[in-house]
Amino acid sequence: MDNDTQLTTSNGPPVRILVVDDEPQIRNLLSQHLAKQGYFVSTAANGEEAFELFSKTPYDIVLTDMNMPRVDGLALIRKIKEMQHNVDIIAMTGFAQTYEYTRVIEAGAADFIYKPFEGDELNAKLKRVIRDRREKAKLAEKLLKDSLTGAYNRYGMEQIAPKEIARATRAKYPLSMFFIDIDGFKQFNDTYGHIAGDIFLKKFVNAVKTVVRKNLDFLFRYGGDEFILLVTNAQRELVEEIAHRILSEYSKITPRAKSISIGVVFVNFREKIPVPGLKDLIHLADRAMYEAKTEGKTLVIKVFK
């Protein structure tokens, strides 16, 4: 298996490409060409090596030969699509080979290129695939977001939270769920009007976003004035700090509803405990929030046991 090559790009992290071909010369030529374009490139000499690499690294694009021993291109494409749905595959084949375009596309490939090909032809196909991937990512992001506040919506929570719970379970790091309710939001709307209420909710979400960690913590709009915050890989001291900072940032919003009540459930997966599901965490955090609301504490943190 050849070494990885990585070059940085000016518009974010490089696209990760896996080249699969049983001919060393072709692998080397493609690896060098793609690296010069700024891609992160790995190579595999056969389908088995490709499977092994996929179990360790999520690739964006696979460029695979079709005519290979043991595991041919069609079998490889089907297996890769089973392992990782969010991957695009470009199939390579010689003019004399009998792989039909329709069969390759039906197997899950995004495009097809005949050997021998020029670098410009490959570059054009890669650019089209990458452009399509970015458009799909933008659309998916919109589907997961609340259109008013920019927080994730309930559908986003159903997609993201179970994966984060599973990741915390495997890696054995802590995970916390905040249930945040805005007290007196109806009265705020009655006093200032619904447009002002919408502006206030946007300000609240922006205030929380200044506190949480990007790509580690996730804010969801659960209901009209109810929000859920998922905090990953943070010890209880940091969780408490995040909660108090949210309360502090909230106090700076003007005009604002009377107050917020926060209930938190903290789970330490290093301990031998039953693994809670999403509904369990919501239920426990909701109970903690109501305890805070009824006792006038603004914040209650419970440890899951």
Active site residues: 225
Residue 248 structure tokens: 């502090």
CA distance 231 to 211: 11
| H helix or E strand, kind and range, residue 299 | strand 299-303
Q: What is the DSSP letter of 85?
A: S
Cα atoms found within 13 Å of the Cα of residue 302, Cβ hemisphere only = 22
Terminal alpha carbon distance of the chain: 46
| H helix or E strand, kind and range, residue 92 | strand 88-94
Alpha carbon separation from 20 to 51, 93, 140, 193, 242 (Å, rounded):
10, 12, 29, 61, 46
Q: Which of 9, 2, 60 is nearest to 29 (CA)?
A: 2
Our measurement of the distance from residue 236's CA atom to the centroid of its chain's CA atoms, rounded to an integer in Å, reads 24
Q: Which of 31, 34, 70, 67 is nearest to 49 (CA)?
A: 70
CA distance 11 to 42: 21
Our measurement of the distance from residue 305's CA atom to the centroid of its chain's CA atoms, rounded to an integer in Å, reads 28
DSSP helix/strand/coil, 189 = helix
| H helix or E strand, kind and range, residue 158 | helix 154-171
Our measurement of the distance from residue 215's CA atom to the centroid of its chain's CA atoms, rounded to an integer in Å, reads 8
CA distance 19 to 27: 7
